[in-house]
Amino acid sequence: GGADMRYVESAARSIAEKLDHYAIIVNKSTVPVGSGDVVTRIVRKNLARPDVPFSVVSNPEFLREGSALLDFQSPDRVVLGSSDQEAARKVATLYLPLRTRIQITDLYTAEMIKYASNAFLATKISFINEIAQICERLGADVKEVAVGMGYDKRIGRAFLDAGLGYGGSCFPKDVRALAHMAGEAGLHPQLLNAVMDINYDQRRLIVTKLTSILGSLRGCTIGILGLAFKPNTDDMREAPSVDIIRWVTSQGATVQVYDPVATQTGREALEREGIRMETVNFCDSAYEVAQDADALVMVTEWNEFKSLNMLQIRGAMRRPVLIDGRNIYEATEMNQLGFIYRGMGRGTGPAPSVLPPGDSTSIPQLAQG
């Protein structure tokens, strides 16, 4: 649960040994609250010249993997924290050309803003995933629920896509670290623990859906579409695919997998997890994955998976079971093609329809089906 500070501490010592004039040390890493003070102590202790002044500024980054350059050029805000407000203001001048909001605060608060931001976004994901499970039992469609919620400006549409939960290098690590910090402070972070539990359970749901249709998975061939934790990256850190593959192979299934870019990193991740690689067949296309498969699981919502010839996919499969872990297909269409389709929180209500903005004079016709 605790963050690994070795590299930050090593960097602080290296800076101290080379420092021969006043400098502002800017930390952009996501570090536990109070780390700015730790850096200050390390630098002060290791200064080659004890009389050299310096300041420490926390400037957490809010870059998303896959769109880091755009996020840097057009940030929603810049956060700067320091016990030396003049140093923080000097750093702020570097960001003036970006014409964005700049918040200057203290070190502890700046460090906390990053954790709180990521934990809140992870909470939105786990919230909509819990709503998805309720929708599934009650017959509602979580995609339409999310649309209706998102029209409320207080809620917003972002991070309300039900699916397999969050992964990657930030959300899992940061939620765990924040919960750990809360525990170290004598608190019981009930919400954060629930966020992590729901995220884990969402991945387990795939196996539950598979066994509810296929029964035993022993001897089955399960197709996995997507390995990376999200599209447009080959990052396998905390990827749902790893857990899903481990669970289904442990129940006697073999898997056929395809990812447009994460084949090598996926192979390495599965090997690190101790998964028996003889149970995993890496394919060159989604159509190869479907060949003689007893079920197909949509894990990563790559664009190319949204435009597949699903009739061809259906024809290649031994049994037409489609588990849509990212809700990129419509149940009615998949059922018409002959699939046994299961989404995440998809109900049985009428096809969705939305009035154009500002149009209150006509009511859209619901599609029959």
- The residues assigned a catalytic role are 170
- How many CA atoms does the CB half-sphere of 6 hold within 13 Å? 1
For the residues of 105-148, what is the DSSP string, one character each? E-HHHHHHHHHHHHHHHHHHHHHHHHHHHHHHHHT--HHHHHHH
For the residues of 190-211, what is the DSSP string, one character each? HHHHHHHHHHHHHHHHHHHHHH
Please give the DSSP secondary-structure letter assigned to residue 98.
G
242 close to 164: Cβ distance less than 8 angstroms: no
Instruction: Enumerate the H helices of the chain as residue ranges.
Output: 6-18, 35-46, 68-73, 85-95, 107-138, 142-150, 171-184, 190-214, 240-250, 263-272, 286-290, 310-316, 331-336
Please give the DSSP secondary-structure letter assigned to residue 244.
H
Q: How far apart are CA 267 and CA 86, in angstroms?
A: 49
In 3D, which of 261, 248, 257 has the Cα closest to residue 283?
257
